[in-house]
Amino acid sequence: MTNHIIAFIFHCKVEKKLSSKTIKAYETDLRQFKDFINFKDTKSIGKEELKSYFLYLSKFSKKTIKRKIATLKIFFSYLEFEEIIVNNPFRKVRIKIKDDLILPKILSIGEITEILKILYISKNDISNTKSYAYKEIIRNIAVIELLFASGIRVSELCSLRISNIDNNFSLIKIQGKGNKERTIPITNSATQNALKATHSNFKKSIRKQSYLFINRLGNPLSEQSVRLLVKRLAKEAKIDRNITPHVFRHSFATLLLEEDADIRYIQHLLGHSSIMVTQIYTHVNERKKTELLTSKNPRNLIFI
């Protein structure tokens, strides 16, 4: 089995040209399967062995189980195609795993306002506009403004090149997952001004690196730096939850939906390949409706 796994990974790297992240996940999942089954002959694996392995996987989250089973399905399809096995054991196994519905965490308008207020007050408190502290706060304002105003992923924010922003800072071009390209209008003047100020203060480094967001060393800002910034700001704003850059993305989508934006427009803005992914936000919206009717239902005014 070890040789077949090596050949499969080579096939994924060279012929399918899959990402390093996907390759790593395949290697982990197949190594785990091999250690559990402990069979040297791949042809000996049947539906009973698969069922035993599925039972072993039950201790993991449903999302992880689905990924590991998907890896095995792809692996055995490869073995069948290469005529290494005659009978694919997955053809005799039916398994359906339904994900738990986990509603995304969001920030309220009040919480986002508090975070932005902290940043803008810090900016006004710095008298030396030539200092790095001032430049840093200018950049941090732009980071938070853009996360909230566009709903982009932290990876997309950190890889945003100046060449992908129009001259007025009113339109950005994003290279999303799977190299899919999308454009997002920046319509809020505060967000536009924050991006312009960042460009103005880091112009030399931006010209050298070509990325909009630059760190103290003159290199592109890392995703981890953005996560730490968001975490620190949430703490200063006394938000007693784990807040990540992705929470801004969830908040952007949810608040748009609550303003009756078409879900297909939201799908495009977020760069989701499937509308099914975007529909998680409709569940958040339903929760809001329930909360509204619980507290504001006019029937509550009649005591009969």
Report yes or no: 186 and 150 within 8 Å, Cβ to Cβ.
yes
- Rg of the Cα trace of the chain? 25
Signed CA dihedral, 187, 282, 22, 31: sign only: positive
The catalytic residue positions are 153, 177, 246, 249, 272, 281
Residue with tokens 């704003």: 237
Residue with tokens 């803005």: 269
Main-chain phi, psi angles of 38, to 5 degrees: 60, 35
- Closest by alpha carbon to 195, among 239, 133, 241, 144? 144
CA–CA dist 110, 276 (Å, integer): 29
Report yes or no: 266 and 257 within 8 Å, Cβ to Cβ.
yes
CA–CA dist 43, 1 (Å, integer): 9
DSSP conformational letter for 170: -
